[in-house]
């Protein structure tokens, strides 16, 4: 009996691309751009996802986004459009039916398996290239075509600008909703706009990292930032930086070998979180002792 893996296989998987690293980078540089912009936006919007307690909603939206993309694949229409439609339907439903946290969680719990099930059905009916199938669930940014990458960057940039334009009212509504309403912040419109932007970010993330792993770019970086900072500028900046480092770092590490990109992104993002947690726990003890 032999081991399923031997060391030279592992070496190839991890570093097989090193010899041609420059050429590979040239091939995937569009992917790196898309990853960079998404990491940035995911980190920023993640701050509000955390403040509004919507991590679970992100997961729910991504499953419906996956279903939309799978449907698009089956129908032979644009997959990015499909994932956006799925995302927006989910975001709209969650925003409309789930104003209260408790309602929201039950609605997401109901939507999520339905979306995932639909997606799997569409995928099994689809008989095109098999590589496409699982990339929607687990992501493979380097196989996304350039035209679509352009779209993903444009979408991310749109969300970034829109998010900055509603930044302060959104922050007020997320942190202190009653006084925000009292002071004339249009809380209903703000919540709706937020769900829309979140839906778009998730749709982009589905293509870059996969529906099952979206949270690694939309939740983890912000959660990590919140462990080490409390300022209104420091937290979003750190979250954006962590998102960027996870996405770009993950891609750069992955193309050194032959393994898929997503595990690298999730691992980098997770390690950043662990480090921040340790740092936060230390400084937290100091703060409490003071």
Partner 1 sequence: MTQSATTPAPVLRIRGAALRRDGRELWSGLDLDVAPGELIAVLGPSGSGKTTLLRAILGLQPLSEGSITALGQRVQRRGNRRIGYLPQARPLPRDVVMRGRDLVSLGVDGHRFGFPFPRRGDRARVDALIDAVGARSFADRPVGVLSGGEQQRLRVGQALADNPRLLLCDEPLTSLDLANQQDVVRLIDAHRATGAGVLLVTHDINPVLDKVDRILYLANGRFTLGSPQEVLTSKVLSDLYGAPVFVLRAGDRLVVVGAPDAEESHHHHEHGDDE
Q: Which residues bind partner 1 (CB under 8 A)?
A: 47, 50-51, 99-101, 164-169, 171-172, 175-186, 226, 229-232, 235, 287-288
Closer Cβ to partner 1, 35 or 243, answer by number: 243
Q: Residue 274 Cβ, how far from partner 1 at the closest point, in Å?
A: 18
Closer Cβ to partner 1, 145 or 283, answer by number: 283
Closer Cβ to partner 1, 206 or 224, answer by number: 224
Closer Cβ to partner 1, 18 or 175, answer by number: 175
Q: CA dihedral in degrees (283, 36, 66, 108; nearest 10)?
A: 30
Three-class SS of 125-144: HCCCCHHHHHHHHHCCHHHC
Least Cα distance to 196 among 51, 93, 71, 67 occurs for 93
Q: Residue 225 Cβ, how far from partner 1 at the closest point, in Å?
A: 8
Q: Residue 157 Cβ, how far from partner 1 at the closest point, in Å?
A: 14
- The string of DSSP letters for 8-32 reads HHHHHHHHTTGGGHHHHHHHHHHHH
Q: Residue 201 Cβ, how far from partner 1 at the closest point, in Å?
A: 19
Cβ-contact 272, 245 below 8 angstroms: yes
Closer Cβ to partner 1, 109 or 232, answer by number: 232
Closer Cβ to partner 1, 155 or 185, answer by number: 185
- Is the Cα dihedral 180, 106, 59, 115 positive or negative? negative
Q: Residue 99 Cβ, how far from partner 1 at the closest point, in Å?
A: 7
Helix ranges, the chain (H): 7-15, 21-51, 55-75, 79-97, 101-125, 130-138, 146-165, 167-175, 177-182, 187-209, 215-218, 220-228, 234-254, 262-289
């Amino acid at each position: 009996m032999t081991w399923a893996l031997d060391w030279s296989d592992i070496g190839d998987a991890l570093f097989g691309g090193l010899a041609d690293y420059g050429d590979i980078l040239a091939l995937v540089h569009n992917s790196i751009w898309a990853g960079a912009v998404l990491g940035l936006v995911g980190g920023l919007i993640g701050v509000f996802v955390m403040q509004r307690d919507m991590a679970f909603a992100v997961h729910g939206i991504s499953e419906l986004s996956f279903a939309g993309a799978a449907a698009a694949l089956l129908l032979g229409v644009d997959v990015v459009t499909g994932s956006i439609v799925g995302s927006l339907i989910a975001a709209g439903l969650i925003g409309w039916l789930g104003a209260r946290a408790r309602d929201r969680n039950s609605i997401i719990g109901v939507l999520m398996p339905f979306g995932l099930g639909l997606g799997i059905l569409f995928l099994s009916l689809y008989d095109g290239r098999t590589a496409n199938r699982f990339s929607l669930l687990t992501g493979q940014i380097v196989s996304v075509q350039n035209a679509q990458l352009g779209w993903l960057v444009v979408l991310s940039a749109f969300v970034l600008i829109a998010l900055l334009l509603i930044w302060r009212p959104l922050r007020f509504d997320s942190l202190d909703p009653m006084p925000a309403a009292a002071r004339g912040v249009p809380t209903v419109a703000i919540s709706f706009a937020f769900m829309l932007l979140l839906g778009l970010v998730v749709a982009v993330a589905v293509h870059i990292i996969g529906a099952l792993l979206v949270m690694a770019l939309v939740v983890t970086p912000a959660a990590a930032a919140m462990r080490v900072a409390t300022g209104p500028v420091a937290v979003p900046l750190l979250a954006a930086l962590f998102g960027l480092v996870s996405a770009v770092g993950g891609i750069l590490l992955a193309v050194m070998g032959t393994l898929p990109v997503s595990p690298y992104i999730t691992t980098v993002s997770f390690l950043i979180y662990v480090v921040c947690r340790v740092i936060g726990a230390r400084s937290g003890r100091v703060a409490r002792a003071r």
